């Protein structure tokens, strides 16, 4: 089997860590680089978190690059309420790798270089704000044409927000970047939206079995996930049982789609846009199901997936 070549762009919180570990466990996947972006926490924390995940999985040979530390124009947002101040549940490890292990090359320059070296062969998986990708296409307008496929976790399809009234976190972090990417990238694009992940949640019984595996990786996952689990339970108490319907590893859905082309079982194919000006809707992804935007490029918005395959990938990730 030919190797699946990936370039992964993250704002490494708990679910980014889960997505990375899913990719590491897939024998046919080769990660050419991990680029870091602001988002769930500060850029420095994101970089440290990626190195912590790599050390846990014995994959420190994978190069890690620091990128955008703030949005293009928007105010900076972080998600410490869910991921903890450090981005990995405030479960700090005193033996975490030294930040000096980061590559000196900037993430955006590394993206452009890697895609040029493997033109047409690399899929990009973006699980955070799209600032690095927006900067890449602004620096090199041919960048999207050299990508095999783009997989995004972000945006929404039913105007349901998780950060603002109508905004999903990754897009709300940098609406201008999301706008640039969805308007400027013409490669095959697959989007795992917030609502899609929620509608394909996994049972909590599976989650507890998953993190109870007797391995170092499972122990790592138990520690970094505890803060998020407490947050979800507190939300359920305040906001209702809908908040505890199931376990959702948002970023793992985009990663699963990138490494297994049978994972997504149904999707919508349409043009999309991002609202930048609305008082209540800034950062919201808009689906042009009627073709009124008259855009040639259409994306695949995931709607259904094989959750049993996701379970399998997650189990393998912690073995």
How do the domains of the chain map onto residue ranges? 4-317
Q: CA 146, CA 116: separation in Å to the nearest integer?
A: 7
What one-character DSSP code corresponds to residue 90?
A: T
Which pLDDT score, from 0 to 100, does residue 246 have? 87
pLDDT, mean over the chain: 94
Which pLDDT score, from 0 to 100, does residue 239 have? 56
Q: Collapse the DSSP code of 175 into the 3-class scheme (helix H, G, I; strand E, B; otherwise coil) and give the result.
A: helix
Lookup result for tokens 């994959």: 59
Summarize the confidence of residues 136-162 as an average pLDDT.
Answer: 97
Give the closest residue to 97 by CA, choosing from 42, 60, 44, 57. Answer: 60
Instruction: List, in sequence order, every residue forming a beta bridge with 268; answer none if it has no partner.
Output: 301
Are the C-beta atoms of 192 and 302 separated by less than 8 Å?
Answer: yes
Q: How far apart are the first and last CA of the chain?
A: 23
Q: What digits encode the pLDDT tens for the residues 185-213?
A: 999 999 999 999 999 999 999 999 999 99
Q: Does residue 235 register a pLDDT over 90?
A: no
Q: What digits encode the pLDDT tens for the residues 171-186?
A: 999 999 999 999 999 9
Q: Collapse the DSSP code of 145 into the 3-class scheme (helix H, G, I; strand E, B; otherwise coil) and give the result.
A: helix
Structure confidence at residue 216 as a pLDDT band (50, 70, 90):
very high
Q: CA 35, CA 69: separation in Å to the nearest integer?
A: 12
Q: CA 127, CA 155: separation in Å to the nearest integer?
A: 11
Q: CA 53, CA 59: separation in Å to the nearest integer?
A: 8
Structure confidence at residue 242 as a pLDDT band (50, 70, 90):
low
Which pLDDT score, from 0 to 100, does residue 93 have? 74
Which pLDDT score, from 0 to 100, does residue 233 have? 77
Q: What digits encode the pLDDT tens for the residues 90-125?
A: 987 766 888 999 999 999 999 999 999 999 999 999
Q: Does residue 240 register a pLDDT over 60?
A: no
CATH number for the domain whose boundaries are 4-317:
3.90.245.10
Q: Which residues are catalytic?
A: 11
Q: What digits encode the pLDDT tens for the residues 40-97?
A: 999 999 999 999 999 999 999 999 999 999 999 999 999 998 999 999 999 877 668 8
Which pLDDT score, from 0 to 100, does residue 1 have? 64
Query: What is the four-CA torsion angle of 151, 153, 154, 155, rounded to 10 degrees?
Result: 60
């Amino acid at each position: 089997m030919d190797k699946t070549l990936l370039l992964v762009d993250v704002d490494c919180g708990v679910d980014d860590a889960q997505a990375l570990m899913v990719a590491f466990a897939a024998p046919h996947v080769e990660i050419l680089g991990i680029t870091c972006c602001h988002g769930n926490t500060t850029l420095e924390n994101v970089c440290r978190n990626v190195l912590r995940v790599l050390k846990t999985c014995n994959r420190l040979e994978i190069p890690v690059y620091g990128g955008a530390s703030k949005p293009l124009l928007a105010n900076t947002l972080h998600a410490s309420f869910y991921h903890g101040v450090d981005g990995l549940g405030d479960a700090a490890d005193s033996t975490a790798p030294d930040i000096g292990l980061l590559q000196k090359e900037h993430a955006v320059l590394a993206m452009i270089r890697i895609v040029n070296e493997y033109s047409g062969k690399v899929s990009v998986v973006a699980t955070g704000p799209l600032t690095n990708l927006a900067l890449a296409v602004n620096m090199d307008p041919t960048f999207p044409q050299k990508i095999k496929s783009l997989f995004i976790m972000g945006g929404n399809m039913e105007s349901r927000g998780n950060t603002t009234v109508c905004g999903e976190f990754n897009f709300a972090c940098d609406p201008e970047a999301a706008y640039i990417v969805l308007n400027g990238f013409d490669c095959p694009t697959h989007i795992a939206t917030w609502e899609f992940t929620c509608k394909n949640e996994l049972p909590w019984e599976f989650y507890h079995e998953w993190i109870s595996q007797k391995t170092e990786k499972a122990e790592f996952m138990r520690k970094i996930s505890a803060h998020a689990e407490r947050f979800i339970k507190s939300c359920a108490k305040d906001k209702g049982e809908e908040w505890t319907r199931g376990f959702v590893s948002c970023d793992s859905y985009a990663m699963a789609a990138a490494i297994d082309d049978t994972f997504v079982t149904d999707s919508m194919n349409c043009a999309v846009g991002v609202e930048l000006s609305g008082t209540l809707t800034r950062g919201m992804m808009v689906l042009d199901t009627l073709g009124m935007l008259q855009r040639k490029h259409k994306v695949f918005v995931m709607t259904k997936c094989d959750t049993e395959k996701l379970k399998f990938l997650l189990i393998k990730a912690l073995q």
